[in-house]
Structure 1
Amino acid sequence: MRRTLGYVLLSTLLFSSMEIALKLAGASFGALQLNFLRFLIGGVILVPFAMSYVRKNQLRLLPHLSLFLATGLVCVLISMTLYQLAVISAPASMVAVIFSINPVFALLFSFLILHERLSRTSIISVVVSVIGLLVIIDPAHLSNPAGLLLALTSAVTFGLYSILSRRGSQKYGYNGITMTAFTFIAGALELLVLIGLSYLPIAGHLFAHSPQLTAAFVRIPIIAGITWAHLPLLAYIGIGVTGLGFAFYFLAMERSDVSTASLVFFIKPGLAPIMATILLHENITVTTIIGVVIILIGSVISFINQEFMERVGAMLPFHSHHNNMLPH
């Protein structure tokens, strides 16, 4: 149990520092360049764990290439690009909190795509979390609508990715770490294609009206601009946050259960803003604090319900303890 809690603690610290590290790196790298490097490195770190599972269970990867291309597109190319743009244009603490409610959207997509029944407790958790989000956004006094919209869209699409990944895992027998590893690799390759397209003349014409969009989507570099001074931060983001963060999460899940491992994402909305205040000197408003507390209440409601259902399930015959829901 001590080792499991150690995995949970390490994963929590790594994921809670994610927005801070990306904010710092965003000053030196473009959103797509940083995304490509981050998920390529993270995927490479996770592949040995994934291949061990594939060989052990005699699974075949090539027939399911379209699955990884789809999850890579939704997760890495769309959700995480929007996420990086949000981190650049909005306070890291706010992005961290908004992104942490992606399980709300995952629940809705599970109802729409997997036709899973929403329990009363799940609906209450969704409503409470949305109230907390509205308190933080404060629609009557929006100061950065673009950043908020980017963060919210990133959370929505990541919730969709979670459900697509879960469906693929259930259908083909992949565990969470295998789905994540090959999603990262597929997404990095798709980003590489997009980077290549950014050098075509049409890219310059499409974004000529906006200097910001030109900088983000035209002639995107791959390794240009990387210096020795950047390597520690890139290593922390790619190996630490993206690779080891997910590895520790899944190790905690394998040694315990989904509820215990999910503590990572219930703590993050409270811890990430504190870390952003200390390390980036961001100001946290009273409404943000209130909103975070409300979201944490919604997370606790969800956690208690999940833990209760797992305990009930464990008492039933032929209980399957397998759950491939990916982290959020």
Structure 2
Amino acid sequence: MRKGYVYIILSAVMFSTMEIAGKLIAMEINPFQLNFLRFFIGASILLPLAIKDLRKREISFNRGDIGYFLFTGLLCVVISMSFFQLAIVHTKASIVAIVFSVNPVFTIPFAYFLLKEQLNKTTILSLFISLVGIACILNPFKINSDVKGIVLAVLAAVTFSLYSVIGKMRSERYGSIVMNCFTFFAGEFIMLIVILLSNISAVVQVNKKLGLSVLSNIPIIQGIEMGNIFVIIYLGVVVTGLGYLFYFFAMDETSATTASIVFFIKPALAPILSLIILQESIPFNTMLGILSILTGSFITFRGKKGKAERKIKEISNIHI
């Protein structure tokens, strides 16, 4: 159990530096290019363990599995993480970290509609409090220039929540490492197609007319230099590869519910690290938002933990 908490702390620290590392090179590397590079590195790190897990489970992929991974890859890597990288460009790293950490709360309505999980007063309360927190950060009474980045961060969190719920549909068949590894590779395949299309002159002209110049001439290697290559490697190896790996180890050593403490630590730790490393100030409305989101996340965590404990108790009673 102690080992599990070490894994939780390690993954929480790594995940909390994700937005900061991205911000450091946000103006040097195309966000879609960075997305492509970091997930390719991360998936490659997970691959040996994923192959080992596949052999253990005696699973061979069919067309349905490939289609499933293409869909989850589209949701996670191409859509959610692209929104995430764009959000970092348009607002503070600390704000993106806080808003994205709400994603476990956003899974509540998706789980209700897709998995038919019951809604109760606790889950509704946590969702409401977390949304109040986002509203505080948005500061509707005094809209600031960060609103575009905040909206993109919310979209990243919502689409990642949808990925989490859809991933849960087959998580027992694949296991977490296999699920995420092949989702990443499938997402990389789609991202590569997007990158290649973005370099076609006709597509470039259309994107520029639509004001989507960021989707034009997306490079793969161009722009990488000594000044940013170590940050890219850090994002790929430490954050995406080892961060997810320690998170999965934490789930194995404890439970999925206990491991979700990672998303409770992140919104508290990320702003502090952003203040130290990037000198990003934390306005009063943002502090209120952090407190609300932490409260909402804590209520969600307690609700999940209570549900898990009741389930264990029921199983124990049956055995008795």
If the length of structure 1 is used for normalisation, what is the TM-score?
A: 0.93
Partner of 1:283, secondary structure, is coil
CA contact (8 A) 1:169 1:179 kept: yes
1:261 corresponds to: 259
Give yes or no for contact 1:67–1:168 (8 Å, CA) kept in 2.
Answer: no
Name 1:162's counterpart in structure 2: 164
**What residue is the counterpart of 1:98 in the other structure?**
99
Alignment pair present for 1:109 and 2:110 = yes
Question: 1 CA distance for matches of 2:210 and 2:166?
Answer: 34
| Counterparts of 1:201 and 1:128, CA distance in 2 | 47
Question: Which ranges of structure 1 fall in alignment gaps of 5 or more residues?
Answer: 320-328
Question: What residue is the counterpart of 1:3 in the other structure?
Answer: 3
2:84 counterpart of 1:86: no
CA distance in 2, matches of 1:258, 1:65: 25
- Alignment equivalent of 1:152, drawn from 154, 169, 172: 154
Per-residue deviation, 1:75: 0.7
1:232 & 1:145 partners in 2: Cα distance?
30
Contact kept in structure 1, 2:208 and 2:216, CA below 8 Å: no
Q: Distance in 1 between matches of 2:289 and 2:216?
A: 37
Per-residue deviation, 1:295: 1.0
**Is 1:67 aligned to 2:65, yes or no?**
no
In the TM superposition, what whole-angstrom CA distance separates every residue of 1:22-70 from its partner, at most 9, and x where no partner exists?
1112122101100000111101111111111110010122330001100
Structure 1 residues 1-328: aligned runs within 5 Å: 1-63=1-63, 64-143=65-144, 144-170=146-172, 173-209=173-209, 213-214=212-213, 216-317=214-315
Task: Note the C-alpha offset of 1:210.
Answer: 6.6
Verify the 8 A CA contact 1:203 1:217 in the aligned structure 2. Answer: no
Contact 1:73–1:190 (CA under 8 A) maintained in structure 2: yes
Shift of 1:318: 8.0
User: CA-to-partner distance for each residue in 1:197-255, whole Å, 9 max, x for gaps?
Assistant: 011122222122477x32x1111110112123433211110010001000000001001
Residue type of the alignment partner of 1:103: P
Contact 1:105 1:159 in 2 (8 A): yes
Query: For residues 92 and 279 of structure 1, what CA distance do their matches in structure 2 show?
Result: 11
- TM-score normalised by L of structure 2: 0.95
- Cα contact 1:35–1:76 (8 A) shared by 2: yes
Distance 1:40 1:236 in 2: 13
- Are the aligned partners of 2:105 and 2:300 in contact in 1 as well (CA < 8 Å)? no
Aligned length in residues: 315
- State how far apart, in whole Å, the 2-side matches of 1:288 and 1:317 are: 43
What is the Cα-based RMSD across aligned positions, in Å? 1.5
Structure 2 unaligned spans of 5+: none
Distance 2:290 2:240 in 1: 24
Q: Partner amino acid for 1:68?
A: F
Which residue of structure 2 aligns with residue 323 of structure 1?
none
Contact 1:16 1:271 in 2 (8 A): yes
Distance 1:274 1:312 in 2: 36
- Hey, what's the Cα distance between the residues in 2 that align with 1:229 and 1:141? 37
Query: Using the alignment, how far apart are the partners of 2:290 and 2:202 within structure 1?
Result: 43
In 1: Cα distance, 2:12 partner to 2:106 partner: 21
For 1:219, the aligned partner's letter is: N
d(CA) in 2 for partners of 1:263, 1:116: 21
Distance 2:257 2:114 in 1: 23
How many angstroms apart in 2 are the aligned matches of 1:17 and 1:76? Answer: 18
Please state how far the C-alpha of 1:313 moved relative to its aligned partner. Answer: 1.1
Query: In the aligned structure 2, how far is the partner of 1:280 from the partner of 1:221?
Result: 27
